[in-house]
A and B are shown apart, each in its own frame.
Chain A
């Protein structure tokens, strides 16, 4: 059976990992390559690198980093952040990224999804959707969740699928950073309405949250950052717990 995936997310700035990372036996916690190798060894199924650099210059550094990660890491990885053109994607894929993730640029120019899917195949096109629940409706937000739009999440997700996205990475701004669990209701609805995989993000705090996001949220994969970086959750232990709950994982 296809397994549920556990995906650590690394924020990258100027080619280095940011946010505190508390790994034992790590020579350089700011080195994305070193970290990625550790995660591959410690049971991560995939990795996501999110480039939060503000300048074009810094993004060039990220491209070099992608090449080094591809050289040394034997599990798949996705690169997102600041991607706005087919040309950007070409460089990242050519440097060895397996998938790319687009967000605001897809909302501004939805045909970018079609162009990428036609040129490189749906399998490498992840569309990230940041959303916030306002009153009773879930609205898409841009620029890391800071700019609200009137776009309904479910409408947008379906459009994204029909334009050729291979996966959706859904982040609930209401849950992100709270460590109180994932947005399981909206995730379950997304997962049932879409026929492409949904990666859940935002809210991971303890192992139970992962059980819930797979069982109740019907997610295909779960992404988290700090709980893994700070060693609060060990991925192998987490997978053992999931397996005991009859959730299929790669151990």
Chain B
């Protein structure tokens, strides 16, 4: 099993590597296209600002590689948002895997949302063994709307998408690598797909 984490300069990748390490799974941090293409599973991480992250992807032409991947791909946090069609953050066009817009939370709630919130209406093989309304750790100012590809919902001022799936592409808004044992279970499920 070869698991790669795409390295395009976007944020804290160590935590994700360590989470897999705790599961006994070795990961390789790489920006090499051939290594990514050959991997069994691909993790697409990201924290920070959307337009600069997208620029970095374009700079390394990973924006053309990622949408064509055939193996299971998991976008985490900003990684998930960049798999969407468009995000209001920096008016950024994403990779367009998920046909959904990412919007900013309005000021009725505190922004960013920071902390543990529940995920519900779970559907997908990545949630095997995860009880409805489990708590996951989230830190974000922008959210994906509800759409056909929604596989988990969360409430924060409104109901939004906390996970997405389309074919081999998965995206989670929360941080499974920081969400205790249940978060680690989700990573394990993804590896076992």
Residues of A within 8 A of B (CB): 1-5, 40, 45, 67, 70-72, 74-76, 93-98, 118-124, 166-167, 194-197, 220-221, 250
B178 in contact with A76 (CB, 8 Å): yes
Are B111 and A98 closer than 8 Å at their CB atoms? no
- Inter-subunit contact B15/A70 (CB<8 Å): yes
A220:B139 contact, CB within 8 angstroms:
no
Contact segment of B35-43, B60-68, B114-122, B165-173: B114-122
Please report the C-alpha to C-alpha distance between residue A99 and residue B179 in the assembled complex, in whole angstroms: 15
Across-interface contacts of B115 in A (CB, < 8 A):
2-5, 45, 197, 220-221
Q: Mark B101-114, 1 if CB is under 8 A from A, else 0.
A: 00000010011111
Q: Of A1, A118, A119, A123, which contacts B114 at CB under 8 A?
A: A123
Q: How far is the CA of A1 from the CA of B113 in the complex (A)?
A: 11
Whether A166 contacts B110 by the Cβ 8 Å rule is no
The answer, among B11, B18, B156, B183, for a CB contact under 8 Å with A70, is B18
Residues in B neighbouring A167, C-beta threshold 8 A? 114
A/B interface sample: 8 pairs, CB < 8 A: A1-B118, A3-B116, A74-B22, A75-B178, A98-B178, A196-B111, A197-B110, A220-B114
Nearest A residue to B47 via CB reads A121
The docked-state distance in angstroms from the alpha carbon of A123 to that of B110 is 12
Query: Is residue B48 within 8 Å, beta carbon to beta carbon, of the partner chain?
Result: yes
Shortest 4 CB-CB distances between A and B: which pairs? A96-B14, A121-B48, A123-B139, A250-B135
Nearest residue (CB) in B for A93 is: B12
Q: What A residues does B117 contact at CB under 8 A?
A: 1-3
Best-surrounded residue of B11, B110, B115, B178 (most CB of chain A within 10 A): B115
Tell me whether B30 is interfacial, beta carbon within 8 Å. Answer: no
Cβ–Cβ < 8 Å partners of B111 in chain A: 195-196
Whether B49 is near chain A, meaning CB under 8 Å from some CB there, is yes
Query: Chain B residues near A120 (CB, 8 Å)?
Result: 11, 47-48
Interface string of B140-182 (1 = CB under 8 A from A): 1100000000000001100000000000000000010111110
CA of A250 to CA of B49 in the docked complex: distance in angstroms? 28
Closest to A167 in B: B114
20 new A-B pairs (CB below 8 Å) besides A5-B116, A121-B48? A1-B117, A1-B118, A3-B115, A3-B135, A4-B115, A70-B15, A74-B19, A74-B181, A76-B137, A97-B12, A120-B11, A120-B48, A121-B47, A123-B47, A123-B114, A124-B47, A195-B111, A196-B110, A196-B111, A250-B135
